[in-house]
């Protein structure tokens, strides 16, 4: 039985929908245990590494600088985002029934969209912070106060929370004519494609939200780096070295996130049935799985100050554990 035939047999109004079927999962036989172990190891690595970096930044006063506080917020967001997908993914890998309740599905949509929007906004805020540190070093300490740092972290959170509540209220009110989505997790666009009611208001909101959220963040990033490059070309060798050392991890992380988000958008908007199922699943999970791991390499291991403090912190607590044992 094809997916379209199954969909016709599961026609129902949104008021009667109690669950959604995630049809992207396929039978892998005994390989599902291998996939489970790989995903579990990745999840544990993300949890341990992100928690370690957050704790190291919070407990060490030498890292209580704007750049590291923004990094801490980025790690918290990635911890939040991975928690929204990995437990569900691990459960579905082992089970043969790939269903999720409607309430949990919309919760996961909100969770993942909040993570994605926050990731982009934090990267934009970090680019502006680097611009001010490089282009206005003398005013940086007086300009970047604690209150301003808190504002630059809290305001994006409330902004994304507002947009998410509005988006979910629109999506959950749609009348749906099916409950099968070709994904391994719940996503907003595949759910809205199941609608048999008018989705004009939903589409208009989506265009406005995408234009405002994405374009504003990218414009801030573009402006910041244009000013940074201008200073680098006209500045001293020391200024260029500082710019390269602090901006390279950020640029790499930004490109990696945009690449992963682009994979997801392309899959949502276009028919990708000609692409192998495993590859489609990997690409749809790229910005949720690879971004936290990539930032671990870029920031946790590449920035010497974080690396040195992290190693000292781990060794100190390892010695303490040995003495107590």
Give the span between the Cα atoms of 207 and 132, in whole angstroms: 31
* Residues 34-61 pLDDT 10s: 989 999 999 998 888 888 888 888 888 8
Domains detected in the chain: 19-324 (1.20.1070.10)
Over residues 255-270, the mean pLDDT reads 84
- State the chain's mean pLDDT as an integer: 81
The pLDDT of residue 303 is: 66
**Structure token digits, residue 147:** 């209150």
Give the span between the Cα atoms of 242 and 183, in whole angstroms: 43
Specify the pTM. 0.84
**pLDDT bracket for residue 9 (50, 70, 90):** very low
Question: Beta strands 180-181 and 19-22: pairing type?
Answer: parallel
Helix axes 66-94, 146-172, angle to 10 degrees: 30
Query: 125 vs 279, which has greater pLDDT?
Result: 125
Measured CA angle at 309 (ends 302, 125), to 5 deg? 55
What would the 3-class secondary structure string for 50-108 be?
HHHHHHHHHHCHHHCCHHHHHHHHHHHHHHHHHHHHHHHHHHHHHCCCCEEEHHHHHHH
Asked if 24 and 183 count as a contact pair (C-beta separation under 8 A), the reply is: yes
Sheet order of strands, 180-181 included: 99-101, 19-22, 180-181
Q: How far apart are the first and last CA of the chain?
A: 60
Question: Beta strands 99-101 and 180-181: pairing type?
Answer: unpaired
Fill in the DSSP letter of residue 98. -
CA distances from 86 to 44, 108, 281 (A): 10, 11, 13
Distance, CA of 141 to chain centre: 30
User: Within 10 A of 56 (CB to CB), how many other CB atoms are there?
Assistant: 22
User: Within 10 A of 314 (CB to CB), how many other CB atoms are there?
Assistant: 12
Asked if 175 and 14 count as a contact pair (C-beta separation under 8 A), the reply is: yes
At residue 19, the 3 state secondary structure works out as strand
Most confident of the ranges 128-142, 231-245, 259-273: 128-142
**Structure token digits, residue 195:** 């609608």
Query: 237 vs 305, which has greater pLDDT?
Result: 237
* Residues 85-129 pLDDT 10s: 899 999 998 888 889 988 899 999 999 989 999 999 999 999 999
* Residues 220-250 pLDDT 10s: 999 999 988 888 877 777 777 777 877 888 8
The pLDDT of residue 321 is: 53
Closest-CA residue to 50 (of 212, 291, 233): 291
Give the span between the Cα atoms of 79 and 48, in whole angstroms: 10
Asked if 303 and 249 count as a contact pair (C-beta separation under 8 A), the reply is: yes
Distance, CA of 122 to chain centre: 11
**pLDDT bracket for residue 1 (50, 70, 90):** very low
Most confident of the ranges 209-218, 231-240, 310-319: 209-218
């Amino acid at each position: 039985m094809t997916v379209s035939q199954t969909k016709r047999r599961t026609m129902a109004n949104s008021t009667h929908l109690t669950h959604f079927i995630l049809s992207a999962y396929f039978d892998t036989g005994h390989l599902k245990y291998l996939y489970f172990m790989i995903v579990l190891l990745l999840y544990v690595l993300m949890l341990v590494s992100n928690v370690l970096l957050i704790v190291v930044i919070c407990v060490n006063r030498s890292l209580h600088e704007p750049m590291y506080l923004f990094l801490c917020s980025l790690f918290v967001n990635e911890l939040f985002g991975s928690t929204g997908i990995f437990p569900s993914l691990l459960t579905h890998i082992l089970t043969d029934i790939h269903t999720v309740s409607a309430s949990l599905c919309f919760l996961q949509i909100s969770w993942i969209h909040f993570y994605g929007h926050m990731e982009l906004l934090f990267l934009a805020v970090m680019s502006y912070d680097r611009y001010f540190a490089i282009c206005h070093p003398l005013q940086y300490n007086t300009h970047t106060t604690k209150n301003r740092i808190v504002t630059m972290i809290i305001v994006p959170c409330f902004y994304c929370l507002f947009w998410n509540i509005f988006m979910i209220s629109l999506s959950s009110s749609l009348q749906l004519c099916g409950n099968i989505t070709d994904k391994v997790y719940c996503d907003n666009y595949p759910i809205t494609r199941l609608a048999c009611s008018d989705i004009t208001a939903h589409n208009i909101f989506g265009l406005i939200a995408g234009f405002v959220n994405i374009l504003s963040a990218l414009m801030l990033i573009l402006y910041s780096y244009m000013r940074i490059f201008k200073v680098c070309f006209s500045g001293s060798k020391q200024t260029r070295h500082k710019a390269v050392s602090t901006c390279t991890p950020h640029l790499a992380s930004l490109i990696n996130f945009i690449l992963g988000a682009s994979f997801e958008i392309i899959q949502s908007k276009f028919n990708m049935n000609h692409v192998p199922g495993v590859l489609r699943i990997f690409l749809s999970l790229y910005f949720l799985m690879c971004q936290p791991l990539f930032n671990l390499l870029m920031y946790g291991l590449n920035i010497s100050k974080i690396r040195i403090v992290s190693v000292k912190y781990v060794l100190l607590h390892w010695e303490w554990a040995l003495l107590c044992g």
